[in-house]
Structure 1
Amino acid sequence: MEVSWETSVTDSINTVYLLFSAYLVFVMQLGFAMLCAGSVRAKNAMNIMLTNVVDAVVGSISYYFFGFAFAFGSGSASNPFIGTDYFALKDIPNSTYDYSYFLYQWAFAIAVAGITSGSIAERTQFSAYLIFSFFLTGFVYPVVVHWLWSSNGWLSPSSSNLLFGSGAIDFAGSGVVHLVGGIAGLWGAFIEGPRVGRFDAFGKPVPMRGHNATLVVLGTFLLWFGWFGFNPGSFDKILVSYPTTTDQGNWTGVGRTAVTTTLAGSAAGIVTLFGRRLIVGHWDALDVCNGVLGGFVAITSGCSVVEPWAAIVCGFFSAWVLIGLNILALKLGFDDPLEATQLHGGCGAWGLIFTGLFAKEEFVVQAYDSGESGVVRPYGLFMGGGWGLIGCQVVEVLAIICWVSITMGPLFYALHKLKILRISTEEEVAGLDISSHGGYAYVAHPDEGHPRFYADYMRLQDQRT
């Protein structure tokens, strides 16, 4: 069949746009690596950087062989819960998108394992990372993708059988990506327990600050940059015209999505800056960085369907969600070195609820029905859209929490029972870099001259021999 010149150009532009977005999302892996490295103590910097690399390379193989099929395979028509047919991409209308679409979705998949890695940093055996990364990327995460982003998923807003007449709106993954990674990290950190010395004998928290604020800030800005592929890039075909107008198409949604993303993160950063100043008594750059990221996580669900002013509301409340959950975590004796559970899990859940409250009808039709006139869809409760959408958003939150809990919880527990999850106390005190990776990330480790460090190191060597 002969393809017209206009169609060929459109397909080419769409493919280049999608690939460029995939590259931006992949840059977020570097952002994760820098953020994680700066947030841990120097004696574990090599370990955390290596785990970020492992999450990417193991996740790539797992997602290629298994994950993509579970996520976007057509499966049985009577099975809306999981895809099975390898590369049976009925969700992709033009085969020219197959490879670029795979690459874009792969970049999302490997980000999930990176979120979970932060929750269990500084006390986890390296082999455990290999196991959970493979399972999370190849099975747990893709099943959730199928629910929301496949056209025959039971929660999908593109399904022919819409839940509550709406389907859940999770445009770029507040739930699919961030809540999944956050809940997986919750179970890993809970089963492992806190790091040695994180809480004193009376259960009071002991500060364990990261060793390099520069890396944390660098990682935050790299993640910010990558989020412009994460959210706007989820319009996987930019050249889509809306039939009822002459001047609107997906390209207008792309610009609006970039703006809402920026405003939500910025609002969350400002609120965190002043909120933490009131609580701890000083200005803290690291807290602000996490606040900014919390705003991005929250807006990721509704970035394409809300007004810019609503994005500021989203960021405002996401900051308080993060601050409140961090306080609660310390009271409960829960230790997450990167606040990944609170940030990605808590703010991701809030982002889903926020979308159910503030989604605008016009934008919902644009994003999911290409601006077709006469289409009626539930939209935000506070915008007059009824209970259909917010009901679906709540169902998504609960479904993800249950699914990840019944899959990743037993996995972490099994690793714990097999004694391949947590390192020994001696290795943890000495540092994972020297105990597992042959040396420190830095030539002169700041603890090398400390008598306690030397004694711990020598004891570890005696155990090995």
Structure 2
Amino acid sequence: MEVSWEASVTDSINTVYLLFSAYLVFVMQLGFAMLCAGSVRAKNAMNIMLTNVVDAVVGSISYYFFGFAFAFGSGSASNPFIGTDYFALKDIPNSTYDYSYFLYQWAFAIAVAGITSGSIAERTQFSAYLIFSFFLTGFVYPVVVHWLWSSNGWLSPSSSNLLFGSGAIDFAGSGVVHLVGGIAGLWGAFIEGPRVGRFDAFGKPVPMRGHNATLVVLGTFLLWFGWFGFNPGSFDKILVSYPTTTDQGNWTAVGRTAVTTTLAGSAAGIATLFGRRLIVGHWDALDVCNGVLGGFVAITSGCSVVEPWAAIVCGFFSAWVLIGLNILALKLGFDDPLEATQLHGGCGAWGLIFTGLFAKEEFVVQAYDSGESGVVRPYGLFMGGGWGLIGCQAVEVLAIICWVSITMGPLFYALHKLKILRISTEEEVAGLDISSHGGYAYVAHPDEGHPRFYADYMRLQDQRT
């Protein structure tokens, strides 16, 4: 069939836009690496950077062979719970986008394992990391993608059989990406237990601050930059005209989505800045960085369907969700070095509920029906849209928690029982870099020259021989 010149140009521009968005999301891997490296102690910096590299390389293979098929597989054997067509690029609106769409979805997939790695940092055997990263990227995460982002998914807002007449709105993945990674990290950190020395004999927390605030701030800004591909890029075709207008299309929604993303992160950062000042008595740059990221996580679900003022509300409350969960975690003796469970899990869940409260009908129709006139959809409860959407959002939260718990929980427990999950106490005290990676990340490590460094090193050598 002959393709018109206009259609060819449109397809080309849409493909370039989607590829550019994929590149932005991939830059987030660098942001994760810098954030994680700065948030751990210097003796574990090499290890955490290697895990971020592994997320990309292992995730590429597992998502190519298995994950993409589970996420977007379709055909005669397809069902609402899991895709089935292996090694096939299916369920994509236009076959022109097969490879670029795969790359974009792959960039999302490798981010999930990076979230979980922060929860189990500084005490996990590298072999165990390889196993769970492959399983999470190749199976656990893609199944959730199929539920929400495949037209066959039982929770999808694009399905022909909408749950509660609505389907759940998770536009860029507060639940699909962040809640999945957060709950997986919750089980990993819980089964492993806290790091040596994190809590004293009376159960009181002992500070274990990261070694490099500069890397944390750098990582935060790189993630901020990448989020402009994460959220606005989820409009996988930018050149879409709405049928009843001459001056509106996806390009207007793309700009608004970038604005809501920015405002939510900024509001969360300000709320965290002053909130932590009241609690701890000083201004803390690292807490603000996590607050900003919490705002981004929360708005990721509803970024395309809410007004900018609502995004500020989203960010403000996400900051207090994060602060409250961090306080609760310490009281319960839960140790997550990067606050990944609280940040991605807690703020991700809040983002889904927020969308069910504040989604605007006009924007919902824009995002999911290309602005078609006469379409009626449930929208935010506080905006007068009834209970359909908020009900779907609550179902998504519960479904993800249950699915990730019944898959990742037993996996981490099995690794624990096989004694391949957590490193020994001696290795943890010495640091993963020297025990597993041949040396520290820095030439002039703070512990070098200290007698304890040499004692730990020699003890480990004796154990190996």
TM-score by length of 1: 0.99
Between the aligned partners of 1:93 and 1:73, the Cα distance in structure 2 is 13
Instruction: Please tell me whether the aligned partners of residues 36 and 49 of structure 2 are also in contact (alpha carbons under 8 angstroms).
Output: yes
Between the aligned partners of 2:241 and 2:109, the Cα distance in structure 1 is 29
Deviation at 1:94, TM superposition (A): 1.6
Deviation at 1:87, TM superposition (A): 5.0
Instruction: Please tell me whether the aligned partners of residues 72 and 87 of structure 1 are also in contact (alpha carbons under 8 angstroms).
Output: no
CA, structure 1 residues 414+278, in 2 after alignment: closer, same or farther (shift >3 Å)? same
Between the aligned partners of 1:440 and 1:450, the Cα distance in structure 2 is 14
CA, structure 1 residues 248+134, in 2 after alignment: closer, same or farther (shift >3 Å)? same
CA, structure 1 residues 35+373, in 2 after alignment: closer, same or farther (shift >3 Å)? same
Q: What does the per-residue CA deviation read over 1:119-149, in whole Å, with 9 as the maximum and x for residues that have no partner? A: 0000000001100010000000000000000
Q: What does the per-residue CA deviation read over 1:346-405, in whole Å, with 9 as the maximum and x for residues that have no partner? A: 000000000000000000000000001000000000000000000000000000000000
Between the aligned partners of 1:421 and 1:452, the Cα distance in structure 2 is 26
Deviation at 1:449, TM superposition (A): 2.9
Q: What does the per-residue CA deviation read over 1:310-367, in whole Å, with 9 as the maximum and x for residues that have no partner? A: 0000000000000000000000000000000000000000000000000000000000
Deviation at 1:95, TM superposition (A): 1.0
Deviation at 1:198, TM superposition (A): 0.2
Q: What does the per-residue CA deviation read over 1:77-99, in whole Å, with 9 as the maximum and x for residues that have no partner? A: 66200001035445322211000
Q: What does the per-residue CA deviation read over 1:261-299, in whole Å, with 9 as the maximum and x for residues that have no partner? A: 000000000000000000001100000000000000000
CA, structure 1 residues 420+75, in 2 after alignment: closer, same or farther (shift >3 Å)? farther
Q: How does 1:13-28 map to 2 (within 5 A)?
A: 13-28=13-28
Instruction: Please tell me whether the aligned partners of residues 77 and 84 of structure 2 are also in contact (alpha carbons under 8 angstroms).
Output: no
Between the aligned partners of 1:446 and 1:171, the Cα distance in structure 2 is 45
Instruction: Please tell me whether the aligned partners of residues 74 and 89 of structure 1 are also in contact (alpha carbons under 8 angstroms).
Output: no
Deviation at 1:451, TM superposition (A): 3.4
Instruction: Please tell me whether the aligned partners of residues 78 and 84 of structure 2 are also in contact (alpha carbons under 8 angstroms).
Output: no
Instruction: Please tell me whether the aligned partners of residues 357 and 380 of structure 2 are also in contact (alpha carbons under 8 angstroms).
Output: yes
Between the aligned partners of 1:445 and 1:435, the Cα distance in structure 2 is 15
Between the aligned partners of 1:176 and 1:93, the Cα distance in structure 2 is 20
Instruction: Please tell me whether the aligned partners of residues 302 and 355 of structure 1 are also in contact (alpha carbons under 8 angstroms).
Output: yes
Q: What does the per-residue CA deviation read over 1:405-431, in whole Å, with 9 as the maximum and x for residues that have no partner? A: 000000000000001100000000000
Between the aligned partners of 2:153 and 2:34, the Cα distance in structure 1 is 35
9-18 or 81-90, larger mean C-alpha shift:
81-90
Between the aligned partners of 1:76 and 1:108, the Cα distance in structure 2 is 27
102-111 or 444-453, larger mean C-alpha shift:
444-453
Q: What does the per-residue CA deviation read over 1:164-215, in whole Å, with 9 as the maximum and x for residues that have no partner? A: 0000000000000000000000000000000000000000000000000000
Instruction: Please tell me whether the aligned partners of residues 263 and 311 of structure 1 are also in contact (alpha carbons under 8 angstroms).
Output: yes
CA, structure 1 residues 88+462, in 2 after alignment: closer, same or farther (shift >3 Å)? closer
70-79 or 321-330, larger mean C-alpha shift:
70-79
Between the aligned partners of 2:354 and 2:367, the Cα distance in structure 1 is 17
Counterpart position of 2:326:
326
Q: What does the per-residue CA deviation read over 1:66-119, in whole Å, with 9 as the maximum and x for residues that have no partner? A: 000000001546620000103544532221100000000000000000000000
Deviation at 1:463, TM superposition (A): 1.6
Instruction: Please tell me whether the aligned partners of residues 18 and 104 of structure 1 are also in contact (alpha carbons under 8 angstroms).
Output: yes
Counterpart position of 1:458:
458
Instruction: Please tell me whether the aligned partners of residues 148 and 155 of structure 1 are also in contact (alpha carbons under 8 angstroms).
Output: yes
Unpaired stretches in structure 2, ≥5 consecutive residues: none
3-state SS of 1:2 partner:
coil
Between the aligned partners of 2:90 and 2:409, the Cα distance in structure 1 is 33
Deviation at 1:302, TM superposition (A): 0.1
Deviation at 1:454, TM superposition (A): 3.2
Deviation at 1:460, TM superposition (A): 1.9
Between the aligned partners of 2:286 and 2:48, the Cα distance in structure 1 is 18
3-state SS of 1:214 partner:
helix
Instruction: Please tell me whether the aligned partners of residues 260 and 308 of structure 2 are also in contact (alpha carbons under 8 angstroms).
Output: yes
Deviation at 1:308, TM superposition (A): 0.1
Please give the root-mean-square deviation of Cα atoms over the aligned residues, in Å: 0.9
Unpaired stretches in structure 1, ≥5 consecutive residues: none
Instruction: Please tell me whether the aligned partners of residues 261 and 300 of structure 2 are also in contact (alpha carbons under 8 angstroms).
Output: yes
Between the aligned partners of 2:294 and 2:315, the Cα distance in structure 1 is 8
Between the aligned partners of 1:135 and 1:368, the Cα distance in structure 2 is 31
Deviation at 1:251, TM superposition (A): 0.3
Deviation at 1:41, TM superposition (A): 0.2
3-state SS of 2:191 partner:
helix
Identity %: 99
Aligned residues: 465
Instruction: Please tell me whether the aligned partners of residues 119 and 186 of structure 1 are also in contact (alpha carbons under 8 angstroms).
Output: yes
Instruction: Please tell me whether the aligned partners of residues 66 and 87 of structure 2 are also in contact (alpha carbons under 8 angstroms).
Output: no
CA, structure 1 residues 87+167, in 2 after alignment: closer, same or farther (shift >3 Å)? farther
Instruction: Please tell me whether the aligned partners of residues 69 and 88 of structure 2 are also in contact (alpha carbons under 8 angstroms).
Output: yes
3-state SS of 2:27 partner:
helix
3-state SS of 2:211 partner:
coil
Instruction: Please tell me whether the aligned partners of residues 358 and 383 of structure 2 are also in contact (alpha carbons under 8 angstroms).
Output: yes
Instruction: Please tell me whether the aligned partners of residues 14 and 239 of structure 1 are also in contact (alpha carbons under 8 angstroms).
Output: yes
Residue 215, structure 1, aligned to residue 215, structure 2 = yes
261-270 or 448-457, larger mean C-alpha shift:
448-457
Between the aligned partners of 1:193 and 1:440, the Cα distance in structure 2 is 24
Between the aligned partners of 1:256 and 1:25, the Cα distance in structure 2 is 19
